[in-house]
Amino acid sequence: MNKKDICILPGTIQYAKNYGYDGLDIWMDKKITIPNAKVFIGHSLGASFILNSDINRNCKFIFINPLVRKRPFLFHFINWLRFLIFEGFAVKKAVPVKYWWHTFKQVLRLLKVDVLRQIKKIPPENITIIRGKNDNYFCDKKSVEILKSNQIKFIEIEAGHDWNENIAGMVKNLVN
């Protein structure tokens, strides 16, 4: 598949360019135009962003560690701190500080998205969920139970919450 047919929506506070695909810098840009892509890849709250958008549900969707469970902001904030401490995050992957206020407002908006309800609106053959086995912060074991109880298929791989080479390899296999 042509890389121009793929659109990445990055995880919180990250650049799209970190992922190796064209995408939307949802943490910097206030006005976003969704392209006519054949495949949308949403990482973490990037999945919430695309699910909250008015797009054709007959495209292919790949969601990496989506926030399946609706939880209060404070809960997510504590988990984000735990993620930073235990899994880590390379500062060079973050958007500049001048965009953090926009990022904060975007996070608050996207935490309101009912991810599970929106996923159910997508034909099952058009969606793949990738979960890092070691994601103990956002797409955790309780999220896995929810996915299973709703008969939503997912792939578990050796990864935490953040994008790594194992996730990149799986995504590459899925888009080719």
Distance between CA atoms of 69 and 143, rounded to whole angstroms? Answer: 6
Neighbours of 146 (CB within 10 A): 16
DSSP-derived 3-state class of residue 152: coil
Instruction: Find, among 69, 79, 106, the residue nearest to 161 by Cα.
Output: 79
Q: How many domains, in total, are found in the chain?
A: 1
pLDDT at residue 29 tops 90: no
The predicted-structure confidence for 41-65, as pLDDT tens digits, reads as follows 999 999 999 999 988 888 999 999 9
The predicted-structure confidence for 59-86, as pLDDT tens digits, reads as follows 999 999 999 999 999 999 999 999 999 9
CATH number of the domain encompassing residue 115: 3.40.50
DSSP 8-state symbol, 38? S
Range of the domain at 94: 3-175
